[in-house]
Chains A and B, each alone.
Chain A
Protein backbone atom coordinates (compact mmCIF):
# COMPACT_ATOMS: atom_id res chain seq x y z
CA UNK A 1 0.00 0.00 0.00
CA UNK A 2 2.81 2.28 0.84
CA UNK A 3 4.32 1.62 -2.55
CA UNK A 4 1.12 2.47 -4.31
CA UNK A 5 0.98 5.72 -2.36
CA UNK A 6 4.49 6.58 -3.50
CA UNK A 7 3.59 5.76 -7.07
CA UNK A 8 0.55 8.01 -6.83
CA UNK A 9 2.63 10.85 -5.47
CA UNK A 10 5.10 10.41 -8.29
CA UNK A 11 2.30 10.53 -10.82
CA UNK A 12 0.92 13.71 -9.28
CA UNK A 13 4.35 15.31 -9.23
CA UNK A 14 5.01 14.33 -12.83
CA UNK A 15 1.62 15.69 -13.86
CA UNK A 16 2.34 18.98 -12.08
CA UNK A 17 5.69 19.32 -13.79
CA UNK A 18 4.22 18.61 -17.22
CA UNK A 19 1.47 21.12 -16.55
CA UNK A 20 3.85 23.90 -15.54
CA UNK A 21 6.11 23.23 -18.50
CA UNK A 22 3.10 23.20 -20.79
CA UNK A 23 1.86 26.52 -19.50
CA UNK A 24 5.25 28.22 -19.76
CA UNK A 25 5.76 26.86 -23.27
CA UNK A 26 2.34 28.07 -24.38
CA UNK A 27 3.09 31.51 -22.88
CA UNK A 28 6.27 31.72 -24.88
CA UNK A 29 4.55 30.55 -28.05
CA UNK A 30 2.01 33.40 -28.20
CA UNK A 31 4.22 36.52 -28.35
CA UNK A 32 3.17 38.79 -25.51
CA UNK A 33 3.89 42.49 -25.37
CA UNK A 34 3.24 44.20 -22.05
CA UNK A 35 2.37 47.87 -21.60
CA UNK A 36 2.37 49.38 -18.13
CA UNK A 37 2.24 52.86 -16.66
CA UNK A 38 0.17 56.01 -16.71
CA UNK A 39 -3.48 55.70 -15.69
CA UNK A 40 -4.21 58.63 -17.99
CA UNK A 41 -3.08 56.54 -20.97
CA UNK A 42 -4.76 53.31 -19.89
CA UNK A 43 -7.81 53.78 -22.09
CA UNK A 44 -5.65 54.83 -25.03
CA UNK A 45 -3.34 51.83 -24.62
CA UNK A 46 -6.27 49.46 -24.53
CA UNK A 47 -7.83 50.87 -27.71
CA UNK A 48 -4.48 50.60 -29.51
CA UNK A 49 -4.05 47.05 -28.25
CA UNK A 50 -7.51 46.00 -29.41
CA UNK A 51 -7.04 47.50 -32.86
CA UNK A 52 -3.55 46.03 -33.22
CA UNK A 53 -4.55 42.55 -32.06
CA UNK A 54 -7.46 42.57 -34.53
CA UNK A 55 -4.88 42.81 -37.31
CA UNK A 56 -2.22 40.59 -35.67
CA UNK A 57 -4.02 37.76 -33.88
CA UNK A 58 -0.75 35.95 -32.99
CA UNK A 59 0.38 38.80 -30.74
CA UNK A 60 -1.07 39.28 -27.28
CA UNK A 61 -0.86 42.74 -25.74
CA UNK A 62 -1.40 43.23 -22.03
CA UNK A 63 -2.15 46.75 -20.82
CA UNK A 64 -2.05 47.74 -17.15
CA UNK A 65 -2.07 51.06 -15.32
CA UNK A 66 -0.70 52.10 -11.96
CA UNK A 67 0.82 55.50 -12.74
CA UNK A 68 3.81 56.68 -14.77
CA UNK A 69 6.17 56.07 -11.85
CA UNK A 70 4.97 52.48 -11.56
CA UNK A 71 5.52 52.05 -15.31
CA UNK A 72 9.12 53.32 -15.12
CA UNK A 73 9.80 51.06 -12.14
CA UNK A 74 8.51 48.11 -14.18
CA UNK A 75 10.63 49.13 -17.17
CA UNK A 76 13.69 49.22 -14.91
CA UNK A 77 12.78 45.88 -13.31
CA UNK A 78 12.32 44.37 -16.76
CA UNK A 79 8.73 43.39 -15.98
CA UNK A 80 7.24 45.38 -18.86
CA UNK A 81 8.23 45.84 -22.50
CA UNK A 82 6.80 49.30 -22.91
CA UNK A 83 6.26 51.97 -20.27
CA UNK A 84 3.40 54.37 -20.90
CA UNK A 85 4.19 57.70 -19.28
CA UNK A 86 2.45 61.04 -19.03
CA UNK A 87 5.69 62.74 -17.95
CA UNK A 88 9.28 62.64 -19.26
CA UNK A 89 11.66 60.17 -17.66
CA UNK A 90 13.56 61.49 -14.60
CA UNK A 91 17.39 61.55 -14.50
CA UNK A 92 17.37 59.10 -11.59
CA UNK A 93 15.34 56.65 -13.64
CA UNK A 94 17.72 56.93 -16.60
CA UNK A 95 20.63 56.16 -14.25
CA UNK A 96 18.93 53.01 -13.02
CA UNK A 97 18.16 51.94 -16.58
CA UNK A 98 21.82 52.43 -17.47
CA UNK A 99 22.97 50.36 -14.51
CA UNK A 100 20.62 47.48 -15.27
CA UNK A 101 20.49 47.38 -19.06
CA UNK A 102 23.31 49.66 -20.19
CA UNK A 103 20.82 51.72 -22.17
CA UNK A 104 19.51 55.28 -22.11
CA UNK A 105 16.02 54.12 -22.96
CA UNK A 106 14.09 55.09 -26.08
CA UNK A 107 11.53 57.87 -25.87
CA UNK A 108 8.63 57.92 -28.34
CA UNK A 109 6.02 60.71 -28.11
CA UNK A 110 2.78 58.95 -29.06
CA UNK A 111 0.10 61.56 -28.36
CA UNK A 112 -0.54 65.05 -27.01
CA UNK A 113 -2.77 65.80 -24.08
CA UNK A 114 -4.32 68.97 -22.77
CA UNK A 115 -4.49 68.87 -18.98
CA UNK A 116 -8.03 70.01 -18.34
CA UNK A 117 -9.25 71.91 -15.28
CA UNK A 118 -12.67 70.66 -14.24
CA UNK A 119 -15.41 72.67 -12.61
CA UNK A 120 -18.84 71.54 -11.55
CA UNK A 121 -21.38 72.15 -14.34
CA UNK A 122 -23.32 74.52 -12.04
CA UNK A 123 -20.32 76.70 -11.20
CA UNK A 124 -20.84 80.20 -12.72
CA UNK A 125 -17.08 80.65 -13.23
CA UNK A 126 -16.08 80.00 -16.85
CA UNK A 127 -12.54 81.32 -17.13
CA UNK A 128 -9.43 81.27 -14.96
CA UNK A 129 -5.97 82.62 -15.52
CA UNK A 130 -3.00 80.34 -14.96
CA UNK A 131 -1.99 82.64 -12.08
CA UNK A 132 -5.37 82.30 -10.40
CA UNK A 133 -5.19 78.54 -10.84
CA UNK A 134 -1.77 78.53 -9.17
CA UNK A 135 -2.94 80.62 -6.22
CA UNK A 136 -6.03 78.43 -5.83
CA UNK A 137 -3.95 75.27 -5.61
CA UNK A 138 -1.33 76.90 -3.38
CA UNK A 139 -4.14 77.69 -0.94
CA UNK A 140 -3.72 81.48 -1.21
CA UNK A 141 -7.12 81.94 -2.86
CA UNK A 142 -9.63 79.94 -0.83
CA UNK A 143 -12.96 81.49 -1.85
CA UNK A 144 -14.67 81.58 -5.26
CA UNK A 145 -15.54 85.21 -4.48
CA UNK A 146 -11.90 86.16 -5.05
CA UNK A 147 -12.02 85.04 -8.69
CA UNK A 148 -15.46 86.52 -9.38
CA UNK A 149 -17.71 83.72 -8.21
CA UNK A 150 -20.14 83.11 -5.32
CA UNK A 151 -19.06 83.49 -1.68
CA UNK A 152 -18.17 79.83 -1.22
CA UNK A 153 -15.10 77.93 -0.13
CA UNK A 154 -13.10 76.36 -2.98
CA UNK A 155 -12.79 72.59 -2.56
CA UNK A 156 -9.54 71.33 -4.07
CA UNK A 157 -9.23 67.91 -5.65
CA UNK A 158 -6.00 66.48 -6.98
CA UNK A 159 -4.11 63.30 -7.72
CA UNK A 160 -1.91 61.10 -5.57
CA UNK A 161 1.78 61.96 -5.77
CA UNK A 162 2.49 58.77 -7.74
CA UNK A 163 0.79 60.13 -10.84
CA UNK A 164 2.40 61.88 -13.81
CA UNK A 165 -0.52 64.26 -13.80
CA UNK A 166 0.44 65.36 -10.28
CA UNK A 167 4.03 66.07 -11.34
CA UNK A 168 2.97 67.87 -14.51
CA UNK A 169 0.56 70.13 -12.65
CA UNK A 170 3.07 70.79 -9.86
CA UNK A 171 5.85 71.68 -12.31
CA UNK A 172 3.80 73.69 -14.81
CA UNK A 173 1.13 75.38 -12.73
CA UNK A 174 2.57 75.54 -9.22
CA UNK A 175 6.13 76.16 -10.50
CA UNK A 176 7.40 73.41 -8.22
CA UNK A 177 5.78 74.66 -5.01
CA UNK A 178 3.69 72.44 -2.76
CA UNK A 179 -0.01 71.82 -3.14
CA UNK A 180 -2.15 73.29 -0.35
CA UNK A 181 -2.58 70.81 2.48
CA UNK A 182 -6.34 70.97 1.96
CA UNK A 183 -6.05 69.36 -1.47
CA UNK A 184 -7.93 66.08 -1.34
CA UNK A 185 -5.97 63.50 -3.27
CA UNK A 186 -7.91 60.86 -5.11
CA UNK A 187 -6.76 57.72 -6.90
CA UNK A 188 -7.26 58.27 -10.62
CA UNK A 189 -8.63 60.95 -12.91
CA UNK A 190 -12.04 59.27 -12.99
CA UNK A 191 -12.30 59.70 -9.21
CA UNK A 192 -11.44 63.41 -9.52
CA UNK A 193 -14.07 63.94 -12.23
CA UNK A 194 -16.63 62.07 -10.13
CA UNK A 195 -15.82 64.17 -7.07
CA UNK A 196 -16.09 67.48 -8.95
CA UNK A 197 -19.32 66.35 -10.58
CA UNK A 198 -20.77 65.77 -7.10
CA UNK A 199 -19.26 68.84 -5.47
CA UNK A 200 -20.77 72.17 -6.57
CA UNK A 201 -17.77 74.21 -5.46
CA UNK A 202 -15.08 71.72 -6.33
CA UNK A 203 -12.19 72.11 -8.74
CA UNK A 204 -10.02 69.36 -10.15
CA UNK A 205 -7.55 68.61 -12.94
CA UNK A 206 -6.76 65.70 -15.21
CA UNK A 207 -6.67 64.39 -18.76
CA UNK A 208 -9.17 65.92 -21.18
CA UNK A 209 -10.44 62.47 -22.12
CA UNK A 210 -12.22 61.73 -18.93
CA UNK A 211 -14.41 64.77 -18.48
CA UNK A 212 -18.02 63.59 -18.37
CA UNK A 213 -20.57 65.37 -16.15
CA UNK A 214 -18.28 68.34 -15.47
CA UNK A 215 -17.26 71.36 -17.50
CA UNK A 216 -13.80 72.53 -18.51
CA UNK A 217 -12.56 75.84 -17.22
CA UNK A 218 -11.28 78.06 -20.03
CA UNK A 219 -7.67 78.90 -19.26
CA UNK A 220 -5.78 82.03 -20.22
CA UNK A 221 -2.18 83.11 -19.75
CA UNK A 222 -3.01 86.63 -18.51
CA UNK A 223 -6.17 88.44 -17.42
CA UNK A 224 -6.46 90.21 -20.82
CA UNK A 225 -5.72 87.21 -23.01
CA UNK A 226 -8.58 85.17 -24.47
CA UNK A 227 -9.48 81.95 -22.65
CA UNK A 228 -9.12 78.58 -24.36
CA UNK A 229 -10.77 75.23 -23.79
CA UNK A 230 -8.64 72.16 -24.34
CA UNK A 231 -9.46 70.94 -27.86
CA UNK A 232 -7.66 69.79 -30.98
CA UNK A 233 -6.77 73.24 -32.36
CA UNK A 234 -5.83 74.92 -29.07
CA UNK A 235 -3.65 72.07 -27.84
CA UNK A 236 -1.97 71.57 -31.22
CA UNK A 237 -1.33 75.27 -31.70
CA UNK A 238 -0.08 75.65 -28.13
CA UNK A 239 -2.69 78.31 -27.32
CA UNK A 240 -4.03 76.19 -24.50
CA UNK A 241 -1.68 76.83 -21.59
CA UNK A 242 -1.58 73.32 -20.15
CA UNK A 243 -0.62 70.79 -22.78
CA UNK A 244 1.87 67.96 -22.65
CA UNK A 245 3.19 64.99 -24.60
CA UNK A 246 2.28 61.42 -23.73
CA UNK A 247 5.18 59.02 -24.16
CA UNK A 248 6.09 55.44 -24.65
CA UNK A 249 9.44 54.41 -23.20
CA UNK A 250 11.37 51.31 -24.27
CA UNK A 251 14.63 49.87 -23.01
CA UNK A 252 16.09 49.40 -26.50
CA UNK A 253 15.32 50.22 -30.12
CA UNK A 254 12.02 48.49 -30.94
CA UNK A 255 12.29 45.14 -32.70
CA UNK A 256 9.90 42.49 -33.96
CA UNK A 257 6.40 42.70 -32.56
CA UNK A 258 7.16 45.76 -30.48
CA UNK A 259 8.37 47.59 -33.58
CA UNK A 260 5.21 46.59 -35.45
CA UNK A 261 3.15 47.95 -32.56
CA UNK A 262 5.07 51.24 -32.42
CA UNK A 263 4.72 51.70 -36.18
CA UNK A 264 1.01 51.03 -35.87
CA UNK A 265 0.58 53.56 -33.08
CA UNK A 266 2.35 56.28 -35.06
CA UNK A 267 0.48 55.45 -38.28
CA UNK A 268 -2.59 57.42 -39.37
CA UNK A 269 -4.80 54.62 -38.10
CA UNK A 270 -3.15 54.67 -34.67
CA UNK A 271 -3.33 58.44 -34.41
CA UNK A 272 -7.00 58.32 -35.44
CA UNK A 273 -7.57 56.21 -32.31
CA UNK A 274 -5.83 58.92 -30.26
CA UNK A 275 -8.42 61.35 -31.58
CA UNK A 276 -11.32 59.05 -30.80
CA UNK A 277 -10.24 58.50 -27.19
CA UNK A 278 -10.12 62.28 -26.72
CA UNK A 279 -6.41 63.07 -26.88
CA UNK A 280 -4.56 64.81 -29.66
CA UNK A 281 -2.35 63.39 -32.44
CA UNK A 282 1.39 64.06 -32.31
CA UNK A 283 1.64 65.07 -35.96
Chain B
Protein backbone atom coordinates (compact mmCIF):
# COMPACT_ATOMS: atom_id res chain seq x y z
CA UNK B 1 0.00 0.00 0.00
CA UNK B 2 2.53 2.54 1.14
CA UNK B 3 4.39 1.88 -2.11
CA UNK B 4 2.53 4.60 -3.90
CA UNK B 5 2.75 7.25 -1.21
CA UNK B 6 5.58 9.72 -1.47
CA UNK B 7 6.59 10.42 2.09
CA UNK B 8 8.49 13.59 2.75
CA UNK B 9 12.13 12.58 3.14
CA UNK B 10 14.74 14.25 5.23
CA UNK B 11 16.86 16.93 3.58
CA UNK B 12 20.06 15.14 4.55
CA UNK B 13 19.13 11.90 2.83
CA UNK B 14 18.07 13.75 -0.27
CA UNK B 15 21.38 15.61 -0.28
CA UNK B 16 23.39 12.41 0.09
CA UNK B 17 21.39 10.62 -2.58
CA UNK B 18 21.88 13.44 -5.02
CA UNK B 19 25.61 13.61 -4.42
CA UNK B 20 25.96 9.85 -4.84
CA UNK B 21 24.25 9.98 -8.21
CA UNK B 22 26.40 12.93 -9.24
CA UNK B 23 29.46 10.93 -8.21
CA UNK B 24 28.52 8.01 -10.45
CA UNK B 25 28.06 10.44 -13.32
CA UNK B 26 31.46 11.94 -12.61
CA UNK B 27 33.13 8.53 -12.31
CA UNK B 28 33.68 8.31 -16.06
CA UNK B 29 35.20 11.78 -16.14
CA UNK B 30 37.46 11.05 -13.19
CA UNK B 31 38.39 7.76 -14.84
CA UNK B 32 39.49 9.46 -18.05
CA UNK B 33 41.56 12.04 -16.22
CA UNK B 34 43.21 9.40 -14.04
CA UNK B 35 43.98 7.16 -17.02
CA UNK B 36 45.63 10.07 -18.80
CA UNK B 37 47.62 11.07 -15.72
CA UNK B 38 48.89 7.55 -15.08
CA UNK B 39 49.82 6.84 -18.69
CA UNK B 40 51.60 10.17 -19.03
CA UNK B 41 53.35 9.72 -15.68
CA UNK B 42 55.14 6.62 -16.96
CA UNK B 43 56.54 8.52 -19.92
CA UNK B 44 57.89 11.46 -17.89
CA UNK B 45 61.45 10.01 -17.57
CA UNK B 46 61.95 10.83 -21.25
CA UNK B 47 61.64 14.52 -20.38
CA UNK B 48 63.48 14.66 -17.06
CA UNK B 49 65.55 11.54 -16.33
CA UNK B 50 69.23 11.85 -17.37
CA UNK B 51 69.86 8.10 -17.74
CA UNK B 52 66.79 7.69 -19.94
CA UNK B 53 67.76 10.68 -22.03
CA UNK B 54 71.07 9.09 -22.89
CA UNK B 55 69.12 6.48 -24.83
CA UNK B 56 66.14 8.40 -26.04
CA UNK B 57 65.17 12.03 -26.48
CA UNK B 58 62.33 13.73 -28.34
CA UNK B 59 64.90 14.74 -30.95
CA UNK B 60 65.90 11.16 -31.61
CA UNK B 61 62.31 10.04 -31.82
CA UNK B 62 61.45 12.58 -34.51
CA UNK B 63 64.54 13.28 -36.63
CA UNK B 64 66.68 10.95 -38.75
CA UNK B 65 69.67 9.57 -36.87
CA UNK B 66 73.00 8.01 -37.85
CA UNK B 67 73.78 4.94 -35.75
CA UNK B 68 76.61 3.28 -37.63
CA UNK B 69 79.45 5.20 -39.22
CA UNK B 70 79.06 3.95 -42.78
CA UNK B 71 75.31 4.53 -42.96
CA UNK B 72 73.07 7.46 -43.86
CA UNK B 73 70.81 9.03 -41.28
CA UNK B 74 67.61 7.01 -41.01
CA UNK B 75 64.40 6.64 -39.07
CA UNK B 76 64.68 3.26 -37.36
CA UNK B 77 62.52 1.55 -34.75
CA UNK B 78 64.67 -1.20 -33.14
CA UNK B 79 64.16 -0.96 -29.37
CA UNK B 80 65.80 -4.32 -28.58
CA UNK B 81 69.25 -3.73 -29.94
CA UNK B 82 72.83 -3.04 -28.86
CA UNK B 83 72.13 0.54 -29.80
CA UNK B 84 68.41 0.96 -29.12
CA UNK B 85 66.70 2.97 -31.85
CA UNK B 86 63.45 4.66 -30.95
CA UNK B 87 62.40 6.65 -34.01
CA UNK B 88 58.64 7.06 -33.95
CA UNK B 89 58.46 8.10 -37.61
CA UNK B 90 58.16 4.60 -39.16
CA UNK B 91 55.34 3.88 -36.72
CA UNK B 92 53.72 7.25 -37.41
CA UNK B 93 53.88 6.70 -41.16
CA UNK B 94 52.48 3.20 -40.74
CA UNK B 95 49.62 4.37 -38.54
CA UNK B 96 48.75 7.16 -40.95
CA UNK B 97 48.91 4.88 -44.01
CA UNK B 98 46.51 2.34 -42.49
CA UNK B 99 44.11 5.08 -41.39
CA UNK B 100 44.16 6.86 -44.75
CA UNK B 101 43.46 3.65 -46.68
CA UNK B 102 40.67 2.84 -44.25
CA UNK B 103 39.17 6.29 -44.74
CA UNK B 104 39.47 6.19 -48.54
CA UNK B 105 37.63 2.89 -48.48
CA UNK B 106 35.03 3.60 -45.80
CA UNK B 107 34.06 7.23 -46.44
CA UNK B 108 32.48 6.85 -49.91
CA UNK B 109 30.78 3.61 -48.91
CA UNK B 110 29.48 4.96 -45.62
CA UNK B 111 28.25 8.28 -47.02
CA UNK B 112 26.66 6.78 -50.14
CA UNK B 113 24.91 4.15 -48.04
CA UNK B 114 23.67 6.91 -45.75
CA UNK B 115 22.30 8.94 -48.70
CA UNK B 116 20.53 5.88 -50.05
CA UNK B 117 18.98 4.88 -46.73
CA UNK B 118 17.85 8.35 -45.70
CA UNK B 119 16.69 9.67 -49.11
CA UNK B 120 15.82 6.84 -51.49
CA UNK B 121 15.12 3.63 -49.61
CA UNK B 122 11.57 2.62 -48.80
CA UNK B 123 10.71 2.31 -45.14
CA UNK B 124 11.04 -1.48 -45.26
CA UNK B 125 14.45 -1.50 -46.96
CA UNK B 126 15.62 1.11 -44.50
CA UNK B 127 14.54 -1.10 -41.62
CA UNK B 128 16.73 -3.89 -42.99
CA UNK B 129 19.79 -1.91 -44.14
CA UNK B 130 20.26 0.23 -41.04
CA UNK B 131 20.54 -2.53 -38.45
CA UNK B 132 22.63 -4.69 -40.78
CA UNK B 133 25.25 -1.98 -41.27
CA UNK B 134 25.20 -1.18 -37.57
CA UNK B 135 25.71 -4.89 -36.93
CA UNK B 136 29.11 -4.50 -38.63
CA UNK B 137 30.19 -2.40 -35.68
CA UNK B 138 29.48 -5.32 -33.40
CA UNK B 139 31.91 -7.74 -35.07
CA UNK B 140 34.83 -8.27 -32.69
CA UNK B 141 37.93 -6.75 -34.26
CA UNK B 142 39.92 -9.92 -33.63
CA UNK B 143 37.52 -11.75 -35.95
CA UNK B 144 38.00 -9.12 -38.66
CA UNK B 145 41.75 -9.32 -38.12
CA UNK B 146 41.68 -13.07 -38.51
CA UNK B 147 39.61 -12.71 -41.68
CA UNK B 148 42.12 -10.22 -43.10
CA UNK B 149 45.07 -12.41 -42.11
CA UNK B 150 43.77 -15.60 -43.71
CA UNK B 151 41.32 -14.65 -46.47
CA UNK B 152 41.70 -11.02 -47.52
CA UNK B 153 45.53 -11.11 -47.64
CA UNK B 154 45.55 -14.12 -49.97
CA UNK B 155 42.87 -12.58 -52.17
CA UNK B 156 44.69 -9.24 -52.48
CA UNK B 157 48.02 -10.89 -53.17
CA UNK B 158 46.57 -13.02 -55.97
CA UNK B 159 44.47 -10.20 -57.41
CA UNK B 160 47.21 -7.54 -57.55
CA UNK B 161 50.37 -9.66 -57.53
CA UNK B 162 51.67 -8.04 -54.34
CA UNK B 163 55.14 -8.86 -53.01
CA UNK B 164 54.13 -8.64 -49.37
CA UNK B 165 51.12 -10.67 -48.27
CA UNK B 166 50.51 -8.66 -45.13
CA UNK B 167 50.61 -4.96 -45.94
CA UNK B 168 49.08 -1.54 -45.36
CA UNK B 169 46.36 -2.12 -47.97
CA UNK B 170 45.24 -5.35 -46.35
CA UNK B 171 45.12 -3.86 -42.86
CA UNK B 172 43.54 -0.62 -44.11
CA UNK B 173 40.67 -2.39 -45.88
CA UNK B 174 39.92 -4.49 -42.80
CA UNK B 175 40.04 -1.33 -40.68
CA UNK B 176 37.66 0.30 -43.15
CA UNK B 177 35.04 -2.34 -42.40
CA UNK B 178 34.99 -1.28 -38.74
CA UNK B 179 34.71 2.39 -39.69
CA UNK B 180 31.86 2.14 -42.22
CA UNK B 181 29.23 1.84 -39.46
CA UNK B 182 30.65 4.88 -37.64
CA UNK B 183 30.47 7.09 -40.74
CA UNK B 184 27.17 5.58 -41.89
CA UNK B 185 25.31 5.99 -38.60
CA UNK B 186 26.37 9.57 -37.97
CA UNK B 187 25.86 10.70 -41.59
CA UNK B 188 22.48 9.01 -41.75
CA UNK B 189 21.36 10.68 -38.52
CA UNK B 190 22.51 14.05 -39.82
CA UNK B 191 20.63 13.60 -43.11
CA UNK B 192 17.47 12.43 -41.39
CA UNK B 193 17.67 15.47 -39.14
CA UNK B 194 17.53 17.83 -42.15
CA UNK B 195 14.00 19.33 -41.82
CA UNK B 196 11.32 18.04 -44.17
CA UNK B 197 10.34 21.65 -44.90
CA UNK B 198 13.64 22.15 -46.76
CA UNK B 199 13.01 19.10 -48.92
CA UNK B 200 9.44 20.21 -49.59
CA UNK B 201 10.63 23.64 -50.64
CA UNK B 202 13.18 22.16 -53.05
CA UNK B 203 10.60 19.83 -54.56
CA UNK B 204 8.16 22.74 -54.91
CA UNK B 205 10.82 24.57 -56.90
CA UNK B 206 10.91 21.65 -59.33
CA UNK B 207 13.93 19.69 -58.08
CA UNK B 208 13.97 15.93 -58.68
CA UNK B 209 14.94 13.50 -55.88
CA UNK B 210 18.59 13.42 -57.03
CA UNK B 211 18.85 17.19 -56.97
CA UNK B 212 17.19 17.29 -53.55
CA UNK B 213 19.64 14.73 -52.17
CA UNK B 214 22.86 16.05 -53.63
CA UNK B 215 22.37 19.80 -53.78
CA UNK B 216 20.17 20.29 -50.71
CA UNK B 217 20.33 17.48 -48.12
CA UNK B 218 24.01 16.63 -48.59
CA UNK B 219 25.31 20.20 -48.08
CA UNK B 220 22.94 20.75 -45.15
CA UNK B 221 24.15 17.56 -43.46
CA UNK B 222 27.81 18.14 -44.36
CA UNK B 223 28.94 18.99 -40.81
CA UNK B 224 27.42 15.71 -39.61
CA UNK B 225 29.24 13.78 -42.32
CA UNK B 226 32.46 15.59 -41.40
CA UNK B 227 31.92 14.61 -37.77
CA UNK B 228 31.44 10.99 -38.83
CA UNK B 229 34.68 11.10 -40.81
CA UNK B 230 36.59 12.63 -37.91
CA UNK B 231 35.26 10.07 -35.43
CA UNK B 232 35.98 7.26 -37.88
CA UNK B 233 39.54 8.52 -38.28
CA UNK B 234 40.00 8.47 -34.51
CA UNK B 235 38.78 4.90 -34.42
CA UNK B 236 41.15 3.94 -37.27
CA UNK B 237 44.14 5.38 -35.43
CA UNK B 238 43.35 3.62 -32.18
CA UNK B 239 42.22 0.21 -33.48
CA UNK B 240 44.73 -2.43 -32.44
CA UNK B 241 43.83 -6.04 -33.06
CA UNK B 242 43.23 -5.77 -36.80
CA UNK B 243 46.52 -4.01 -37.55
CA UNK B 244 48.41 -6.31 -35.19
CA UNK B 245 47.22 -9.34 -37.14
CA UNK B 246 46.97 -8.08 -40.71
CA UNK B 247 49.63 -5.44 -41.26
CA UNK B 248 52.85 -7.48 -41.10
CA UNK B 249 54.24 -5.33 -38.24
CA UNK B 250 57.40 -4.26 -40.04
CA UNK B 251 58.51 -0.73 -39.17
CA UNK B 252 59.29 0.58 -42.66
CA UNK B 253 59.34 4.26 -43.61
CA UNK B 254 57.95 4.16 -47.12
CA UNK B 255 55.03 5.76 -48.87
CA UNK B 256 53.99 2.62 -50.76
CA UNK B 257 50.58 1.27 -49.76
CA UNK B 258 51.68 -2.29 -50.50
CA UNK B 259 54.58 -2.39 -48.02
CA UNK B 260 54.15 -3.84 -44.56
CA UNK B 261 53.53 -1.38 -41.75
CA UNK B 262 53.78 -1.23 -37.99
CA UNK B 263 51.33 1.04 -36.19
CA UNK B 264 51.48 2.78 -32.81
CA UNK B 265 48.75 0.66 -31.29
CA UNK B 266 50.15 -2.65 -32.53
CA UNK B 267 53.60 -1.71 -31.23
CA UNK B 268 52.24 -1.21 -27.72
CA UNK B 269 50.30 -4.47 -27.88
CA UNK B 270 53.28 -6.46 -29.14
CA UNK B 271 56.03 -5.03 -26.96
CA UNK B 272 54.57 -3.98 -23.63
CA UNK B 273 54.34 -7.57 -22.35
CA UNK B 274 58.10 -8.08 -22.47
CA UNK B 275 59.54 -4.68 -21.75
CA UNK B 276 61.69 -4.18 -18.66
CA UNK B 277 59.74 -2.14 -16.11
CA UNK B 278 61.02 1.44 -15.93
CA UNK B 279 63.42 1.13 -18.87
CA UNK B 280 63.60 3.79 -21.63
CA UNK B 281 61.74 1.39 -23.93
CA UNK B 282 58.96 1.21 -21.33
CA UNK B 283 58.74 5.01 -21.14
CA UNK B 284 58.64 5.30 -24.93
CA UNK B 285 55.76 2.82 -25.15
CA UNK B 286 53.84 4.87 -22.61
CA UNK B 287 54.61 8.04 -24.53
CA UNK B 288 53.10 6.37 -27.60
CA UNK B 289 50.09 5.53 -25.44
CA UNK B 290 49.82 9.17 -24.39
CA UNK B 291 50.00 10.29 -28.03
CA UNK B 292 47.24 7.87 -29.01
CA UNK B 293 45.14 9.00 -26.07
CA UNK B 294 45.51 12.69 -26.87
CA UNK B 295 44.86 12.12 -30.55
CA UNK B 296 41.70 10.07 -30.15
CA UNK B 297 40.50 12.43 -27.43
CA UNK B 298 40.90 15.40 -29.78
CA UNK B 299 39.16 13.67 -32.69
CA UNK B 300 36.26 12.60 -30.50
CA UNK B 301 35.99 16.07 -28.99
CA UNK B 302 35.99 17.85 -32.35
CA UNK B 303 33.51 15.32 -33.74
CA UNK B 304 31.20 16.03 -30.83
CA UNK B 305 31.55 19.79 -31.17
CA UNK B 306 30.70 19.65 -34.88
CA UNK B 307 27.63 17.51 -34.16
CA UNK B 308 26.37 19.83 -31.41
CA UNK B 309 26.80 22.87 -33.68
CA UNK B 310 24.93 21.09 -36.46
CA UNK B 311 22.07 20.16 -34.18
CA UNK B 312 21.75 23.75 -33.01
CA UNK B 313 21.78 25.04 -36.57
CA UNK B 314 19.17 22.63 -37.87
CA UNK B 315 16.91 23.20 -34.90
CA UNK B 316 17.37 26.93 -35.28
CA UNK B 317 16.15 26.72 -38.86
CA UNK B 318 13.10 24.73 -37.94
CA UNK B 319 11.77 27.26 -35.48
Interface residues of A (CB under 8 A from B): 66-67, 69-70, 73, 92, 153, 155, 160-162, 166-167, 170, 176-179, 181-187, 195, 198-199, 202
Contact = CB atoms under 8 A, between A and B. Distances in A.
Contacts of B82: 176-177
A119 B275 CA distance: 30
**Majority-rule SS of B interface residues:** loop
B250 A185 contact: yes
A195 B153 CA distance: 10
Interface stretch (B53-61, B162-170, B206-214): B162-170
B76 A181 contact: yes
29 contacts: A66-B273, A67-B274, A70-B274, A73-B274, A73-B277, A92-B276, A155-B163, A155-B164, A160-B249, A161-B270, A161-B274, A162-B270, A162-B275, A166-B80, A170-B80, A178-B76, A178-B81, A178-B85, A179-B78, A181-B90, A181-B251, A181-B252, A183-B250, A187-B244, A195-B166, A198-B153, A198-B154, A199-B165, A202-B165
Interface string B235-277: 0000000001000111111000000101000000011011111
A195 B81 CA distance: 25
Q: Which interface class (under 10, 10 to 19, 20 to 34, 35 or more) fits B?
A: 20 to 34
B273 A69 contact: yes
A69 B69 CA distance: 32
Contacts of B77: 181
Contact of A187 (B154, B166, B270): B270
Nearest to B83: A178
A139 B275 CA distance: 25
Contacts of B277: 73
Closest A-B pairs by Cβ, 9 of them: A162-B274, A69-B274, A184-B248, A161-B80, A185-B249, A178-B78, A160-B270, A184-B250, A184-B260
A162 B154 CA distance: 27
Nearest to B247: A184
B252 A182 contact: yes
A166 B81 CA distance: 11
Contact of B165 (A66, A92, A155, A167): A155
Interface of B: 76-82, 85, 90, 153-154, 163-166, 244, 248-253, 260, 262, 270-271, 273-277
B196 to A, nearest CB: 52
Contacts of A179: 78
A70 B154 CA distance: 32
A160 B250 contact: no
A15 B275 CA distance: 42
A73 B164 CA distance: 35
B248 A161 contact: no
Nearest to A162: B274
A6 to B, nearest CB: 15
Contacts of B250: 181-185
A224 B131 CA distance: 66
A21 to B, nearest CB: 30
A160 B166 CA distance: 15
Contact of B166 (A67, A161, A177, A184): A184
Contacts of B76: 178, 181
A135 to B, nearest CB: 16
A273 to B, nearest CB: 28
B271 A161 contact: yes
B269 to A, nearest CB: 9
A184 B260 CA distance: 7
